[in-house]
Every structure is written in C-alpha cells, then in structure tokens.
Amino acid sequence: MEATVVKTGTEGKTWGGGNQPLKASYGKMMMWFFIVSDALTFSGFLASYGFSRFKFVDAWPIADEVFTHFPFLHGVEAPMYYVAFMTFILIFSSVTMVLAVDAGHKMKQNKVILYLFLTIIGGLIFLGSQAWEWATFIKGDYGAIETKGGQIIQFLDKEGERVAIRDFAAINDGDRIPQTRENGLWFAEDTEYLPTVSFEQVKAGFLANDNLLVRLQHKDEHGHHIILSREESIAKVVNDGQLVVEGANLRHNEYGHPLFANFFFFITGFHGFHVATGVLINIIIFFNVILGTYERRNNYEMVEKVGLYWHFVDLVWVFVFTFFYLV
C-alpha cells in the first residue's frame, strides 16, 4: 500500500487535506446537520399552522379555552398548568442529559449511568403526559354543534357559563336505528361518527330550555366570542345546525376549526414521535454505558451526539409550547 501513496507536497497547508477546520468529528457534524434539516421540517409544520391560523384569525380557538384540564382535578379550570409541567419535565431531562455529557467528558461511568437513567425517566413521563393530553382532547368536554357551513357553535347559559350538550339534550325521544345493508339502501353504510346524543335530541333540548344561548367561534374586536340573543340562537340552531360534535378528531373538533385539531395531532404527534425515538436511543446508549463500551473506547462522544438530539427535541418543544399554548 505504501508504494502507491503519492506525496502532493501540500501537506500541512490549508487545502492539503487532513484538516478539520470545524474541529468536530464526522459523527457530531452530521448530527448537527441532521438537526438543521429536522428543524426545517418542524418549522415548515409550524409555519403552515401559522398560515391556517392567519387564514381564520378571527375564529381560531385559543389554547386557554381548549386545554383546561389537570389530572385528578375534575371540574377545575386549570389552563396552562399541565403543559407548563410538561415543559419543565422536558427541560429538566435536558439538564440531566447535559450533566451526563459532562460526566462523560470526565470519564465518570457511574454518573453517566445515573444521569442517563434520569433522562430516560423524564422522557417517559413526558410521553405519558402527552398521551393524557391527547386522550382529554379527543374525549372533549362540553360538546358542540357543527353547522352546515362547517362552523362550530357552543352553548352557554344566561350567566355565560358553558353548558354540556349531554346535560340538556332530550334523551328519550326514541331509539336510534342503525342503518344496515339489509334494510334500506344496500350501498349506504351507517355513519362512522356517532356521538352519544343526536342532533335532533340536542335541538329539542335546546328549544325546551329558555336559559340557553349560542356562542359562535367568531370573535368581536376585543377577542371575545360573539354570543347570540335567544331568538338569534334558536334561528342559528334550527336553520344551520347539522351535526353533534363531541371531542376532537381529524374531521370534527368541538373546540373550533377542525384544522386546529389536525395541526395539534400532527405537530405534537410528530414531536412525540421524536421524543419516543429519543428515549429509545437513550436506552440503547444507557446499556452501552453500563456494558462499558465507551469506557473501552476511551471517550463518551456517543453520549454527546445523542445528547444533541435530545436537546433538539427539547428545543422543538419550546417552540411548540409557544405556538400552540401561549400565542
């Protein structure tokens, strides 16, 4: 082999090869450039969220009205607190990760094990919290009516408090008969989306109860939802109402525009997927550290590279938190 090596006479010069101008290893640099491309992906999603929000800026649901629950506190209005908790969990797991990287630089195997373990626990708590957040959002709480134009109308009493549709819907006006192929049109399937009460029941209950008003998604100039008078409310429900919506899914969203739910599921889901893979990679690295792989390799740079990814996941959450829950 040596015989074929040709000296170029440029050794040691800038373009002579063998230089590392960025003073970073290949793996770390590639992790950085992967992070750049992933950051562009996420900003594409968040920008399209902003686009849709600006399109419907006078009717977009505000997170304060949507995410008002806290585990084990039923019926307590607690906007923001739960996501704030999730944010702290993720920032704290970032701290334990960077402590693990620091312990790795000092070649302290046991400390790396401890901090990586805490990081994994933090990641798992975050994932569990997000699952709970999703479940609450999908389940919904008050329910609403969707109009023929695709808008959401919600119900209030005269004091301005929200009223759940299941509390006033007239339940006992006949059982619902499911559509089957045998009786009726052979090509018509039964509806996929089946709330607990039907639109007719909600309409009957609404007409019977003089105390109920309708609130629109559209806002006045002060940012408050427009509340209709009793007469306008009746006209709205009778003329425009079409469908009962409970909770949120990809087609209907009782809190407002369905796009809000779509973006929420997509962006927090994609972020949650990143957290899940981050936890998985952390677990692999964790076992490598226990087995002494990096001790034998005599450097812990792999912990640092995985740490970069983990911090990036935290970084993305900082932005998701701002644009979904604060702004």
DSSP 53-85: HHHTTTSPPPHHHH---BTTBTT---TTHHHHH
266 contacts another protein (rule: CB under 8 A): no
Residue 217 belongs to what H/E stretch? strand 212-219
- Residue 149 lies near another protein (rule: CB under 8 A): yes
For residue 248, the 8-state DSSP code is B
Select from 43, 179, 191, 211 the one that contacts another protein (CB under 8 A). Answer: 43
Query: Is the Cβ of residue 168 or residue 300 nearer to another protein in the bound state?
Result: 300
**Is residue 254 involved in binding another protein (CB under 8 A)?**
no
Query: Among candidates 172, 143, 171, 140, which has minimal Cα distance to 156?
Result: 143
Inter-CA distances, 274 with 35, 88, 233, Å: 12, 18, 45
Q: Is 35 a residue that touches another protein (CB under 8 A)?
A: yes
The tokens describing 246, both together, are: 């409970």
Tokens of residue 82, six digits: 């739960």
Q: Does 56 bind another protein (CB under 8 A)?
A: yes
Shortest Cβ distance from residue 293 to another protein (Å)? 19
In angstroms, rounded to a whole number, what is the distance separating the alpha carbons of residues 19 and 10?
12
Nearest CB to another protein, comparing residues 103 and 202? 103
Kindly state the number of chain residues that form the binding site for another protein, as judged by CB under 8 A: 60
Q: Closer CB to another protein, residue 93 or residue 201? A: 93
Stretch that binds another protein, among 49-57, 129-137, 241-249, 270-278 (CB under 8 A): 49-57
- Amino acid 297 reads R
- Can you tell me the distance from the alpha carbon of 145 to that of 168, in angstroms, rounded to the nearest whole number? 13
Is residue 119 close enough to count as binding another protein by CB under 8 A? no
Q: Does the footprint of another protein cover residue 92 (CB under 8 A)? A: yes
Burial class (CB in 10 A: 0-12, 13-18, 19+), 319: middle
Q: CB under 8 A: which stretch of 55-63, 200-208, 229-237, 286-294 binds another protein? A: 55-63
Establish if 48 lies at the interface with another protein (CB under 8 A).
yes
CB-based contacts of 94, cutoff 8 Å, min separation 6:
310, 311, 314
**Interface residues with another protein (CB under 8 A)?**
21-24, 29, 32-33, 35-36, 39-40, 43-44, 47-48, 50-58, 64, 79-81, 84, 87-88, 91-92, 94-95, 97-99, 101-102, 105, 149-151, 222-223, 304, 307-308, 311-312, 314-315, 318-319, 321-322, 325-327
